[in-house]
Structure 1
Amino acid sequence: MISNEMRFDCQHRGDTGLLVVVPHIDGTPLTELVDEYEIAAGMQPAGDAYSGLIPEFFRFGPMQDHFLGLSTSAMGPKTPVLGCECGEWGCWPLMARITATADLVTWDAFEQPHRKTRDYVAFRPFQFDRHQYDDALQALSAVIGSAADDTSA
């Protein structure tokens, strides 16, 4: 079975300096992957609608739990994996079902909850080797932890 590779990119947002977390799948930001899909599908609005998640804006709980689909404050059974380009995830989120087993983490059943008629069935499921995914989560937690240390100093 072929699996995708996950990496979480963390950058400071220029207008606020807050940390923004963008999942990268096989080296491509998820923001680009979903933009390409929505534009090709003729969805409106589409393109530059999404940004990464800003942990300081919402209490997701530990990012390791959040990106394993265990965030208790998410909307229903799905997890926000991207937020709006304005920085607020509730404004225009990309939601996904995240399923974790001992060997795999799967992201599928994507949806834009504010546009229920949008069809993401062809936005392929992504499957990640659990060990590689856990390593990416550990790296993300280290960055978020050091960013929190910087702000509390």
Structure 2
Amino acid sequence: MEQVVETHVLEEILDKNGRNKSSIISILQDIQEKYRYIPKEVFSYLAEKLDMSTAKIYGVATFYENFSLEAKGRYIIKICDGTACHVRKSIPILETLYKELKLSKEKITTDDLLFTVETVSCLGACGLAPVVTVNDKVYGAMTPDKTIALLNELREEVKHAENEK
């Protein structure tokens, strides 16, 4: 269920960044902010508009770890597995996320593009271990039960937003 890339959105991003080769990182950041990843069809479009090779743009997008070429969910859940979190049982939380969302180490995003689960080495909140973030909001002292409650809250938030449309 991939998103359709809209040409007018790309044009607005290019205009905002000055249609400059030197702005490629900012352009890619803006595209990723809009779509939550960098869709493959963007590369040839940008190459044409910026007079750059597709390979060069792809090289920039794959060099920086913060860029993603895979579709990500509306909610990006990061589970810390650093030492403090691991010792305080982050793995059962990860297993709960995988089970509840029908995901795995290989399949990290739900089919409806609602959730993406990523494991990270450290979130820098060791005193709150074990820690989960949802779109960079920190949730400390997590347990499998708190994780299920958090997922239910997020699902309700989506239902509420859809009902307001």
Between structure 1 and structure 2, the one with the greater Rg is 2
TM-score where L is the length of structure 1: 0.26
TM-score where L is the length of structure 2: 0.25
